Amino acid sequence: MRIAIDVMGGDLAPAAPLEAARMAAERFPEVRLILVGPAAEIRSRLGGDAGRFDVADAPDVIAAGEEPAQAVRRKPRASIPVGADLVRRGEADAFVSAGNTGALMAAAYLALGTVGAVRRPALATVLPTWDGKGFLMLDLGAQVDCTAQHLVQFAVMGAVFMEQVASRPRPRVALLNIGSESGKGSRAVREAYELLERAGLNFVGNVEARDLFDGPADVVVCDGFVGNAVLKAVEGTALGIFRLLREEVRSSRRAALGMALARSSLQRIRRRLDYAEYGGAPLLGLSRVVIKCHGSSDARAVANGIGVAVRTVQQRMVDRIADHLTAAGEVLKL
């Protein structure tokens, strides 16, 4: 197996992806790792470890703020399009990146296309729950306007991932909605509800945003507009809470002492909610495996993302998605 790694993707690049590659090489000695980025810089930073890896030269970088489609066209030698092309040519079995999300989706879609009956690919991520198990949420921004058929396909793809890669037998699937009743939501969501009742999945109905982190479902489905808004709201809330805690600690010695006494408990809570534990999640619906890690991923998070890529390839997830969508399409006439 060969896994390509975007060395220049993410806020902590190239240090974090390179350290992640070292960690993954120890964890998966049977996997050949291909480091994608400026070849001379990569070899210089690796030093004596350079011989453990293959290097694919990609001298350009797509920054976080660049317009995705334009950047992919203007910079074909950037690490993201080069990595996607390695997968297209069969020189890598998967590509892992913490870089520009839109550029990764654009490059992967252009290079690889979709699998089988997939109408549109989806961006998914694993979000934490209070019990530490986490759940998969999709779409998070790849597809803003979705029909009921798109939402059903997202549900099937998410269920396959959670069952095969995350080892959740019969994963519970839910629609994100403004109420738990079947008649709530937009027309597309209401129609998707009716279809999912007949799709052969473990469909548990609608869930509201306030209940997401209680873990009512293993897969939560929504359109990309809603998903991205929820994700950004969650991230902003978390950052705000930690900022308030820091301000309180600095406000008095008593507060600082209380925080010191509670440090071990707070660290356990942080580990339970840490996205780094989950590593990354796939761009679901593509014809090959592409894993997106969080933009602020450290080495541990990227290494875990590489682990997700390894399991996704081993479980033949792309083929399984195609088979499940074909079966669902025959039943639901998608």
Domain shared by 136 and 264, yes or no: yes
Q: Does residue 80 sit in the same domain as residue 228?
A: no
Assigned domain for 327 exists: no
Range of the domain at 293: 1-118+285-316
Same domain as 273, residue 135: yes
Whether 332 is in a domain gets the answer no
Q: What per-residue confidence (pLDDT) applies to 273? A: 58
pLDDT on residue 267: 67
Domain-terminating residue out of 278, 307, 326: 278
Do 38 and 104 lie in one domain? The reply is yes
Q: Are residues 189 and 76 in the same domain?
A: no
Overall number of domains in the chain:
2
98 and 219 share one domain: no
pLDDT value at residue 262:
67
Are 208 and 147 within one domain?
yes
CA 74 from centre of chain: 25
Same domain, 125 and 202: yes
- Asked if residue 153 and residue 62 are part of one domain, the reply reads no
pTM of the predicted model, to two decimals?
0.88
Say if strands 94-97 and 2-6 run parallel, antiparallel, or are unpaired: parallel
As given in the structure block, the two tokens for residue 30 are 């049977």
Task: Return the structure tokens found at 180.
Answer: 């738990």
Please give the pLDDT value at position 313: 96
Low-confidence ranges of the chain (pLDDT < 50): none
In a domain, 304, yes or no: yes
Task: Look up the CATH number of the domain holding residue 17.
Answer: 3.40.718.10
Same domain, 72 and 172: no
217 in any annotated domain: yes
Q: Are residues 114 and 128 in the same domain?
A: no
Q: Which two tokens stand for residue 308?
A: 């997700």
What's the pLDDT at 276?
Answer: 56
- Angle between helix 299-314 and helix 15-27 axes, rounded to 10 deg: 50
Q: Which of 39, 35, 40, 36 is nearest to 81 (CA)?
A: 36
Position 319 scores a pLDDT of 94
Judgement on whether residues 90 and 136 belong to the same structural domain of the protein? no
Per-residue b/e over 85-108, b at no fewer than 16 CB within 10 Å? bbbbeeebbbbbbbbbbbbbbbbb
